[in-house]
Structure 1
Amino acid sequence: MKKILLLISIFLFAAVLSAQVQNSSTEVINYKEKDGFIIIDLTINGSVAPFLLDLAGKTLILDEFVDKFKIVDLRETSDKYPNNKIEIDKGGIIKTISFGNNVFANEYKVNITKDKENIIRKLGVAGIVNGTLFKNCVLTIDKKNKRITTSIPYRPGYISIKERDKIVLTPENGVMLNGEINGQQYKLLFDTWEKGLVTSSHKMGNGNSLKMINVNIPDPKIDIKKNVVLPTIGLGLLDHGIISIDYLRSTFYFQSHDKTIVKEEAKQTLSTIVPGKMNSITRDDFIHYIFDYKNESEFVLKGDKPVVIDFWASWCIPCMRMMPEMEKMAEKYKDKVIFYKVNADKEKELCAMFNVLALPTLFFIPKNGAPIVEVGALPEKYIEIIETKLL
């Protein structure tokens, strides 16, 4: 029976994480800019690394990161990078990948390149990520402040509903935007690889005007490149406003900077930790109280007491059955062990960082040593681990 419940828990956990639509959440993350490209940090199977954001491209990594990222199901592939910018050698699967807490995927398709001369190596990043990772959220890019906002289920409040239009999604979740160039309507591929404004294989009408929804862009430069298959609009668009892409509703918003007031996000306060209780913690709490995985490579527990962490969710039957037992343990060992609980639905970055794929997952962390990881609702076994491994 316990095995059946565990299998159900694993299945439901994967389904809920893939859906990503049950909670209302907004997260703002600063990004870096290098040589005009947007660079973001992704968490892949417990490793954090910088990636170039190419929404119209392919998700791809350098071959030297295959082992570090624990890529599985390596195979031959016929995939081609758009416009043959990068040579693809093979394909594989990423078990878990996340961008902050709102963007998370399991069993995520990735391509691999051995190309020695490509732009990824020159930029010093591990790879490229495309639009498929963001398909279950609203992605907002603010180039002026170098911020990316991911929100579920709607756009940020500072983006007006009046500034919207429909989009067409390509098979790889590339985004085709409606734009008016010299009085004519065009479908423009939003390409975050291109640093300019509009790129086309041919001249686009007579005149010199560009309008995106309600924003008129004066004297737009249109670059002519013969190898371009679809006309594109690049990062130059973001010099004139903020874009929000709602993948679920096939809608985009483009709002000029002078109409936009971006409120500063309220700083998260750390939780107060109470001995003898199951303390609910966030990513920031984890970094502050337990282990700073963003700046440290080797796991070294903070504090002067061993720790137990319970990754749980409200829909997980074994988790809810286990919670009263965990509360009893927290009370029993209140002067010797600190107990924490992490809501896996809300803390997706922690789940990706520590490869939490089934619930409940428990970490037993001695004062000096690596975490002991267990899966399932087994209170007797966990008491034994505390008695023999932590105390």
Structure 2
Amino acid sequence: MKKLLLTLTAFAVIFSACGNQKPGTKENQEIAGTVAKANASTGSERLDKAKFVQKVWDYTKSPNDWKYLGTKPAIIDFYADWCGPCKIAGPILEEIGNEYAGKIQVYKINTDQERELAQVFGITGIPAFLYIPAKGKPVMMSGIGRSKEETKKMFVENIEKYLLVKK
């Protein structure tokens, strides 16, 4: 009986402590503002299906006709949280997104959460990267370099070759 009472008391304390913060408190609003600023300052944007069809390509309306909806060239990083090479490529792409701010857009799609988008592009291995020029057809590539430096060099070379081509 004492164990049951002690267990119930412990649960009551835990649940009352967890529910103590009100969503509208000034402290919570400041935290939310800080998180929003941090997300805005990163060099990439996460996409789900709704954002993808709005910003990149509405494959639901024209599945056989590629029509890029963006104004700037873009890279899409198809990744998963558990993928080791993806964890290496992600921060490098964020850095590149900041370095090329205003020239290219970097998007990220989590293939575990957005399986349909991965299927649309036939992605069977990650990391995979879709290089989308402002005009023309996209180019899909996969894999990273043997080091962070080689990986960054690979991204920069591909950006110059496929995205920032002077025509």
For 1:91-240, list aligned pairs within 5 A: none
Match in the other structure for 2:80: 313
Q: Is the 8 A contact 1:311 1:342 kept in 2?
A: yes
* 1:249-299 Cα shifts (integer Å, max 9, x gaps): xxxxxxxxxxxxxxxxxxxxxxxx958621011011100000000111211
AA in 2 matched with 1:320? K
- Work out whether 1:371 is the aligned partner of 2:138: yes
- Work out whether 1:336 is the aligned partner of 2:108: no
AA in 1 matched with 2:59? Y
AA in 1 matched with 2:52? F
- Quote the Cα distance in structure 2 between the aligned partners of 1:275 and 1:366: 23
Which has a greater percent of helix? 2
Match in the other structure for 2:45: 279
Task: Please give the secondary structure, in 2, of the residue aligned with 1:324.
Answer: helix
* 1:152-200 Cα shifts (integer Å, max 9, x gaps): xxxxxxxxxxxxxxxxxxxxxxxxxxxxxxxxxxxxxxxxxxxxxxxxx
- Mark the runs of 5 or more structure 2 residues left unpaired by the alignment: 1-38, 146-150
Task: Please give the secondary structure, in 1, of the residue aligned with 2:53.
Answer: helix
Q: CA deviation at 1:310?
A: 0.1
Higher relative contact order (CA 8 A, sep 6+): 2
Q: Judging changes above 3 Å, is the alpha-carbon distance between structure 1 residues 304 and 276 closer, same or farther for their aligned structure 2 residues?
A: farther
Match in the other structure for 1:381: 154
AA in 1 matched with 2:49? R
Quick check: which has more Rg, 1 or 2? Answer: 1
Select which of 263, 268, 293 maps to 2:59: 293
- Work out whether 1:350 is the aligned partner of 2:117: yes
- Quote the Cα distance in structure 2 between the aligned partners of 1:356 and 1:374: 10
Q: Is the 8 A contact 1:277 1:327 kept in 2?
A: yes
Off by >6 Å, runs of 4+ in structure 1: none
AA in 2 matched with 1:369? G
Task: Please give the secondary structure, in 2, of the residue aligned with 1:330.
Answer: helix
Q: CA deviation at 1:303?
A: 2.0
Q: Is the 8 A contact 1:276 1:338 kept in 2?
A: no
- Quote the Cα distance in structure 2 between the aligned partners of 1:276 and 1:306: 17
Superposition RMSD in Å? 1.6
The count of aligned residue pairs is 119
Task: Please report the TM-score for the alignment, with normalisation by the length of structure 1.
Answer: 0.29
Task: Please report the TM-score for the alignment, with normalisation by the length of structure 2.
Answer: 0.68
Identity %: 31
AA in 1 matched with 2:43? K
- Quote the Cα distance in structure 2 between the aligned partners of 1:324 and 1:276: 10
- Mark the runs of 5 or more structure 1 residues left unpaired by the alignment: 1-272
